[in-house]
Amino acid sequence: MTATAEAATEPAPIRLWRLPGVYPPQADTGLLAQALSREIVAPGTEVLDVGTGTGALAVLAAGMGARVEATDISWRAVLTARLNAARAGHRVAVRRRHLAHPPDGRTYDMVLGNPPYVPGPPPRGAARTRRSARAWDGGARGRDLVDLMCVRAAALLRPHGVLLMVHSGLCGTGRTLDTLRQCGLSGQVTARARIPYGPVLHSRLGWLRAQGLVGAEERAEDLMEELVVIRAQRP
C-alpha cells in the first residue's frame, strides 16, 4: 500500500533511450515523477503505469520497490519502455493496451497516468495519420482520455489505492475532481507548475482563443500553461 511521505525527495535521474515517435519525458513527466517520489511504496506494491511512453515512471516505481505493469497503445513505446527497464536492471511487464481496454479483473495499489490532454480541433486530412499526436491530443476540451482515466481508475484501484495523474489546467481541474468524486474517489491537487507554451499549444493558439480557452488580450510570448498533479484515493 502507499501513503504520502513526510519529506519529499527528488527522484534520481534516469538515463532513457527512445525510439523516434515516442513521447519524450517533459515537464509533466517530471512533475508526476516528483509526486511519485513523495509516496511511500512498500516492497511488492503493485503499480500500473498507463500510457508509459519511454517507461520513465514505470522504471522509477520499480526502483522504489514496486511490482510494475506498464501499458501503451504504441508498439514503439512498448519496445522503448521494455529496453529502458532492462537497462535500469528492473523487471517491468510492458504490454500494448489502450486505456479503453483495461486488464480484466486486475486491480492495483497505485495507478499512474499522464493521459493526452491538449485541447484541439478534430484532426483532418494528413493530421489523422500522425501517430505521434496520439501522445497529446485530448479532444475538443482535452478531456477525452482524462475522463476515461478517472472512470477506469475507480475500477482498477484496490481499497485505499492511489491514483496519481497529471494534466493541463486548460482541461479544467475542477471538473476532474468532480468526475473523480462521482466515481467514488476523493481527490486533491498536490502539485502545480507553470511552464511556457510549447510548440503544440502555440500552433493551436488561434483555435484556443476561438474556444475561449485563452484570453484574446494575452500576448503569445507571455502565455504560460499550468500543469497539475491530482492525487485521488479509493476509500
Q: Centre a 10 Å sphere on the Cβ of residue 215 and count the other Cβ atoms it contains.
A: 9
Count Cα neighbours of 144 within 13 Å in the Cβ-side half-sphere: 15
pLDDT in tens, 7-25: 334 444 567 999 998 989 9
Q: What is the pLDDT of residue 218?
A: 81
What residue ranges of the chain have pLDDT lower than 70? 1-14, 102-103, 124-132
Domains of the chain with bracketed CATH: 25-197+227-233 (3.40.50.150)
Contact 190, 36 (CB under 8 A): no
Distances (CA, A) of 235 to 25, 159, 184: 31, 6, 8
Contact 5, 68 (CB under 8 A): no
Q: What is the pLDDT of residue 5?
A: 43
Question: Which amino acid appears at position 73 of this protein?
Answer: I
Which pTM was predicted? 0.89
Distance CA(233)–CA(180), nearest Å, equals 9
